[in-house]
Amino acid sequence: MTEQGPVEERIFRGIPVSSGVCHGRILVLKKAELSIPKYDVSEEDLPQQVQRFEQALITTRREILDVQHKISKAIGDEEARIFDAHLLVLEDPTLIDSVTNQIVQKRVNVEWAFHEFTEKYTATLNAIDDAYLRERAADMRDVNSRILNNLMGVQRQDLQNLREPCIIVAYDLPPSETAFLDRKIVLGIGTDIGSKTSHTAIMARSLQIPAVTGLQNASQKLQSGTYVLLDGYNGALIIHPSDQTLFEYGQLVRRQVNIQEKLREITVLPAVTLDGTKLTLSANIEQISDIESVKYFGAEGVGLFRTEYLFINRSALPTEDEQYDAYRKVASELKPQPVIIRTLDLGGDKFISKLQVAQEMNPFLGWRAIRYCLEEKEVFRAQLRAILRASAEGNVKMMYPMVSCQDEVLKANAFVEEYKAELRAEGKAFDENLEIGVMIEIPSAAIAANFLAKHVKFFSIGTNDLIQYTLAVDRMNQKIAYLYEPTHPAIVRLIQMTAEAAHANNIWCGVCGEMAGDPELTPLLLALGADELSMAPPLLPQIKLMIRRLKNAEIKELGEFALKCDSSREILERSRALARMAAPGLFETQM
């Protein structure tokens, strides 16, 4: 169905997750609304309901393994490993036991029991202020949908046999469906929900299909057949684009071809300013499969290896040997480049049933990260021993998250020395000079940085949490998100104070939060004393290009201005102006 007559151009704004521009007619996939029946089940029929649940899990597992196998052949093993998380959901004892108990205790049908539990479970994950765990909620939605469909005999929508070129607009598009899209037919993807780290976004990037998420209600307001332009650079879905808009985007595509060629050439070059100051650019990773991206985008090692993925969606905690194997693979693959492993950063705000962490009134200020590890000594012991053992296989360093005071560092270091002694006695190799650092993400740590620096070898500033804790702002709360200001004068001073304390004690200072991957803020971070920047691997080339276009005199002048300025906006504008003057090509995606 196509629309007739002159119409005005309209824009839906969202989150750009896969770069590129495309235009054409849309195919709208409305959010599936299953009507879940509820009925009482007699005592003698309860075993049949449990058996139906078990059979649905078996069928779903078979489907996901088939999807994984096909993706491995079509796209690659790295993308196929995304579905390991889906398979783990099917083995989650919390899921299985809770649904089974609900069926038996309430004497209800399996569809209702399953739906009730999974709605609460995913709502818990969605509420967590951690992008990685929220995206695991998206994995659960995909798996849950499959299980419900199998229980109710509903066929999933088949997008593999589309005949006409189109741009798909949907409430959500599971990665298991995204992976099989034909790039010649599906020109782009727009979804109401999702983020840059969602597995759907990862699939879109792998397939090089332009994609925008977070369009809120586009799938409800638009009709199939409408002509649109999808902007995967800026996160826009333009309805009925004018001839002028189409012309301007044609120019944008040509400019992007040129800048992408420059970024590909720069991956093998050092991150050094025009007058010779060398910076270290590292990668943030979450799992072993990220190693290839680290190499491909020219990172100088790993500045943040998040270990939480080893602890999530499991029936039991990972053993020391299992952790050792994971850390060893990364270290040996990347040596002699450094790999900084962050110790467990889970706790009261992050859902993990096996750890038996009690519900807290305010989990963000609660029992988590280093606080949890210092009390749960066996959990900490297994991880510290695994990291120590892996240090014999490569250039491994380690850092503690959410440190608030010197006492926590001393206690953690004492455990490290104790486990070194154990390993010596057992004849197991490790690096006697393993370097230990701390994450600076709490204001008290930044203020006390001079004391902390005497007991560690480096700092890594986690700007996401530092900003939230300093400004008392939950950046996921839309009502106050405007208060989340990376260039707030207090944040500027805390970063500078941390770097100054590090240098005064002859240690280095890095930044591993989102600020590190923002080219507009690169000049400011250098001006405040950062020695290393660590970010998602695909962001590395543009940050490297920015560094290679800056001069020390300009950086110094910006730093002096920022430390005297009382306006977040003016600091941002000054850093932004310098960035755009130094590397204008990086910002030519903006319309």
Could you give the angle at which helices 406-426 and 377-390 cross, rounded to 10 degrees? Answer: 60
Confirm if 441 and 465 have CB atoms less than 8 A apart: yes
Asked if the 43-152 domain carries CATH number 1.10.274.10, the reply is yes
User: Which two tokens mark 77?
Assistant: 């093993």
Q: How far apart are CA 23 and CA 230, in angstroms?
A: 6
For residue 7, give Cα distances in angstroms to 217, 228, 240, 378, 543. 20, 12, 7, 65, 41
Q: How confident is the model at residue 351 (pLDDT cuts 50, 70, 90)?
A: very low
pLDDT in tens, 170-226: 988 888 788 778 888 999 999 998 877 677 787 888 788 999 999 988 999 999 999
Residue 554 has pLDDT above 90, yes or no: yes
What is the model's pLDDT at position 298? Answer: 94
Q: How far apart are CA 261 and CA 211, in angstroms?
A: 21
Q: How far apart are CA 384 and CA 327, in angstroms?
A: 11
Distance of CA 398 to the CA centre of its chain: 20
Considering the chain, what percentage of its residues have pLDDT values greater than 90? Answer: 59
The 10 Å Cβ neighbour count of residue 584 is 11
DSSP structure string for 354-395: GGTPPP-SSGGGSSBHHHHHHHSHHHHHHHHHHHHHHGGGSE
- Ranking 38-47, 118-127, 271-280, 389-398 by mean pLDDT, the lowest is 118-127
Average pLDDT, stretch 249-261? 85
Q: How confident is the model at residue 578 (pLDDT cuts 50, 70, 90)?
A: very high
Residue 425 has pLDDT above 90, yes or no: yes
- The SS3 call for residue 207 is helix
Fold of 10-32+162-261: Glucose Oxidase; domain 1 (3.50.30)
Q: How confident is the model at residue 361 (pLDDT cuts 50, 70, 90)?
A: very low
Residue 348 has pLDDT above 80, yes or no: no
Q: How confident is the model at residue 405 (pLDDT cuts 50, 70, 90)?
A: very high
Residue 433 has pLDDT above 80, yes or no: yes
Residue 350 has pLDDT above 50, yes or no: no
Q: How far apart are CA 476 and CA 216, in angstroms?
A: 15
User: Which two tokens mark 323?
Assistant: 């952790």
Catalytic residues: 199, 512
Residue 470 has pLDDT above 90, yes or no: yes
End-to-end CA distance of the chain: 30
Question: Do the two domains 10-32+162-261 and 43-152 of this chain adopt the same fold?
Answer: no
Q: How far apart are CA 137 and CA 151, in angstroms?
A: 21
What is the model's pLDDT at position 353? Answer: 44
What is the model's pLDDT at position 175? Answer: 80
Confirm if 235 and 16 have CB atoms less than 8 A apart: yes
What is the model's pLDDT at position 136? Answer: 66
State if pTM tops 0.75.
no
Listed by start position, the domains of the chain span 10-32+162-261, 43-152
Average pLDDT, stretch 440-454? 96
Average pLDDT, stretch 69-95? 76
Average pLDDT, stretch 518-533? 97
